[in-house]
Every structure is written in C-alpha cells, then in structure tokens.
C-alpha cells in the first residue's frame, strides 16, 4: 500500500475512532482541549509510522495506546514543574500533579464517554455557532478547514470559535458527566438542536453557490445515529434521526443536472432513496412507541413521513400534514411553523385559505428578513392569479436570500409572473 493510500485509510479510521479517543481522554484528563491535543498527537504518530509499519490489526487500540503514552508524559512533565515550584517556595495548587489511572480508565466502555462528550460540545453556555463547530470538530472528526468550507465561514473565524468554546468550558468548569434528571431534557434539547442545525445547513445551505451540501447532512445523521444508540429510551432522539433520514432521502432529487434547485412537488420521486426512507420510518416507529406525547422532532418526522409515503405529489395527505402542523404549533409554536402550516392548509383547502394565514404573518417582526415568507406569499398569489403582486413578492424574496441558487430560482419564478 502506498503512503498516500495509507494516509487515506488513516483519515477514514480517524473519522470512526477519533471521537471515541477524545471522549475517553476527556474523562481521564478532565480537559477537552488537552484531550484533543493528545488525540491529535496520536494521529500524527500514526501518520508518521503506519506508512512504514503498515496499518495495525486494531488501529483504535493503537491510537489509544499512543495517546496514553503522551498523556502520561504530559502529566509527569507537569508534576516535575509543580515539584520545582514547590522547591523554589512558589507554592501553588498543582492539580496536574496527580497522575490519572490510565490503565483502568482507558479500558472502560466508551458509550457513556461519547454521550458525555456530546453534552459538553453542545453545552448551553456556548453560542449555537460555537456548539456546531465544536461538535463537528470533536465528534464529527472534521478539520477546521472542512468546517469553515461547509459553513462558508473564514477558517480563522471557525478556529477562533473552537478555541473560545474550549476556553469557556474550562473557565465555567463544565463537568465531564451526564446531566442529572432535572436538567436532562434541556441539555438533550441543546444536543438535538445542534445536530439539526448542522443537518439543515447541509439540506438547505443558507449561503453560497450550492443549494445543498450532502456531506454535512451525512455528518449530522452519523452523529444522530450514534446518539440514538447511546440514548435508546429518548423518543425525541429517534424523532430527529427519523426526520433527518426522511429529508435526506430527497437529496438526489432536490438538485437538477446543472445544480439548480428542484422544489418538493416537482421532484422525481423515483430518485428518492428508499433505503433512507425505510430507516427513517423505522426510527419514527421506535420513537412513537416510546411516548404518547410526541415532541417537536417526532411531529416533524411524521410530516416528512407523509411525503415519503406518497408515491407521487398528488397522493400526499395534506390534511394529515396540516393536522400535524397544528399539533406542532401547540408543542413548539413559532411564526415559521405557522408559515409551514399555511402551506399545508393551502394544499389541502385551497390557496385562499393559506393566504389568509400568511397575510397575518406579514407583520411578524421575526420574519422581517425571512425570505421564505414572501416566497410562500408569492406562490399563493400566483395560484389565485394576482400576478403583479406575486412577481413583487418573488423579487423581494430573492433580495433576502444569501444562496445564489435559490436567488436564481426565485427570480425565475418572478419572470413566470410576466
């Protein structure tokens, strides 16, 4: 195997093993920044040695051993420094002087460690964008450059977010432990929010020249599946996994041969991924079996399932979708949910019924710069023949979006109005 092939294998192994390694090291060192540094040193050692010696039979165990040796060296070094300070009379609390029990700690099961790392990376003390970047870094195995490219953000900005996030976690002394029952719901909600934020940026890119970024969707789904294995009794976890799988099943049909967006009702459903649909429906069934009071993600997954079960657009159960949006409004109501409910009602009962709701939302301050409000209003106005107003709405929507492909689509729809 050539050195280049070996490096590709190492990168693939790192995507699988990196998060586990960082999770274990964080538990042992109680320092997420140090844990990542040690893991990166182990990765660098593999990059140096494996092209010559070959990839070991148990690469994960090799990386753990390499990281352990570097961690022991670090703590011995820290202890020597602390001892010298004491000899010189400069006393300080040398927390680093205590040598962790690596031999036993690194052999413990890693499931809880990964879950703890998710709760740390998605901790509410961090801003949402920092949570997303740190999660992709620690748990997704992405480099700073890859994260920056995915979010169309300058690499130094992403690097700064990650550094600040680690510093904040240290300063706030966020413990490496699972949250207690009292705060589990809020903390789990933060984890799910971050995973869905990552997925949505891949499913409908907020800016740039591409309408979708499937790699980000795949990262979010991979992390969601891991979370579902680690927290199998949480219905909303299965709900989010179902929602992501069902939406991702449409990715191939959402983009035309030249990268142009294709809207849901115009998509070739033969291109929808039946494997992902099957997995999504199974996850939805698991989640619904765990509760008689479905939350936001289970309800949204139920809506996505209505689309997935329809072999053609005309067969969509829009009344059921409108009903589910009504439930969603009560569980997690927002102007955006109400806008989506308006679309469902317009499909079930006619554009006038939907437009009545949309017109009420026109004065909602939080939707002032939301491009989908005028886009939806333009679509409804076009259907009832108010072409001049529809054109104006589509042009306004085009001026609000930061995605080049979506802007082209909206301007084309404006042109259709004459």
In a domain, 221, yes or no: no
In a domain, 87, yes or no: yes
In a domain, 274, yes or no: no
Q: Report the distance separating Cα 1 and Cα 24, nearest Å.
A: 31
In a domain, 27, yes or no: yes
The parent domain of residue 27 ranges over 3-91
Q: What is the pLDDT of residue 81?
A: 54
Q: Block means of pLDDT (10 residues each) for the chain, length 418 residues?
A: 81 84 88 90 91 88 86 74 49 44 47 86 92 91 85 90 94 87 83 93 85 90 92 96 98 93 95 98 98 97 98 96 97 95 97 97 92 97 97 97 94 95
Q: What is the pLDDT of residue 83?
A: 52
Q: What is the pLDDT of residue 360?
A: 95
Contact predicate 229/223, CB 8 Å: no
Q: What is the pLDDT of residue 141?
A: 83
Q: Report the distance separating Cα 147 and Cα 172, nearest Å.
A: 25
Q: Report the distance separating Cα 112 and Cα 396, nearest Å.
A: 49
Q: Report the distance separating Cα 71 and Cα 63, nearest Å.
A: 12
Indicate the burial class of 40 (C-beta count within 10 angstroms; 0-12, 13-18, 19 or more).
Answer: middle
Across 280-307, b (16+ Cβ under 10 Å) vs e yields bbebbebbbebeeebbbbbbbbbbbbbb
In a domain, 60, yes or no: yes
In a domain, 35, yes or no: yes
The total number of structural domains in the chain stands at 1
146-155, long-range: CB < 8 A, 24+ apart: 150/201, 150/202, 150/213, 150/215, 150/216, 151/201, 152/205, 152/207, 152/208
pTM of the predicted structure, to 2 decimals: 0.81
- Token reading at 18: 């990196």
In a domain, 74, yes or no: yes
Q: Report the distance separating Cα 347 and Cα 229, nearest Å.
A: 37
In a domain, 160, yes or no: no
């Amino acid at each position: 195997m050539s050195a280049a092939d070996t490096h590709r294998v190492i990168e693939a192994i790192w995507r699988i093993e990196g998060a586990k390694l960082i999770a274990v090291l964080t538990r042992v060192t109680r320092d997420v920044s140090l844990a990542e540094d040690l893991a990166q040193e182990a990765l660098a050692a593999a990059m140096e040695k494996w092209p010559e010696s070959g990839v070991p039979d148990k690469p994960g165990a090799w990386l753990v051993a390499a990281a352990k040796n570097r961690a022991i060296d670090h703590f011995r070094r820290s202890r020597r420094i602390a001892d010298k300070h004491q000899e010189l009379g400069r006393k300080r609390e040398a927390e680093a002087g205590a040598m962790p029990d690596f031999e036993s700690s690194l052999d413990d099961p890693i499931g809880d460690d990964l879950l703890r790392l998710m709760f740390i990376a998605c901790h509410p003390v961090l801003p949402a964008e920092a949570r997303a970047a740190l999660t992709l870094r620690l748990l997704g195995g992405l480099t700073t450059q890859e994260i920056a490219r995915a979010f169309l953000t300058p690499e130094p900005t992403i690097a700064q977010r990650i550094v600040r996030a680690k510093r904040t976690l240290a300063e706030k002394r966020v413990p490496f432990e699972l949250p207690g029952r009292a705060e589990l719901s809020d903390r789990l909600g933060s984890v799910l929010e971050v995973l869905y934020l990552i997925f949505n940026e891949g499913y409908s890119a907020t800016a740039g020249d591409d309408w979708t970024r499937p790699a980000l969707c795949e990262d979010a789904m991979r992390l969601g599946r891991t979370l579902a294995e680690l927290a199998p009794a949480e219905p909303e976890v299965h709900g989010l996994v179902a929602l992501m799988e069902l939406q991702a099943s449409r990715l191939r049909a959402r983009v035309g041969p030249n990268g142009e967006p294709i809207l849901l009702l115009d998509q070739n459903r033969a291109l929808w991924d039946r494997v992902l649909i099957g997995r999504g429906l199974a996850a939805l069934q698991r989640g619904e079996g765990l509760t008689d009071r479905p939350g936001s993600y289970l309800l949204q997954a139920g809506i996505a399932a209505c689309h997935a079960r329809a072999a053609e657009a005309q067969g969509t159960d829009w009344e059921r979708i409108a009903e589910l949006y009504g439930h969603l409004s009560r569980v997690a109501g927002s102007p955006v949910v109400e806008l989506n409910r308006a679309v469902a009602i317009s499909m079930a009962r006619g554009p006038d019924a939907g437009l009545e709701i949309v017109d009420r939302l026109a004065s909602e301050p939080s939707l002032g710069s939301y491009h989908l409000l005028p886009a939806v209003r333009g679509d409804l106005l076009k259907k009832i023949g108010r072409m001049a107003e529809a054109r104006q709405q589509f042009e306004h929507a085009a001026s609000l979006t930061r995605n080049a492909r979506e802007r082209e689509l909206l301007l084309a729809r404006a042109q259709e109005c004459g």
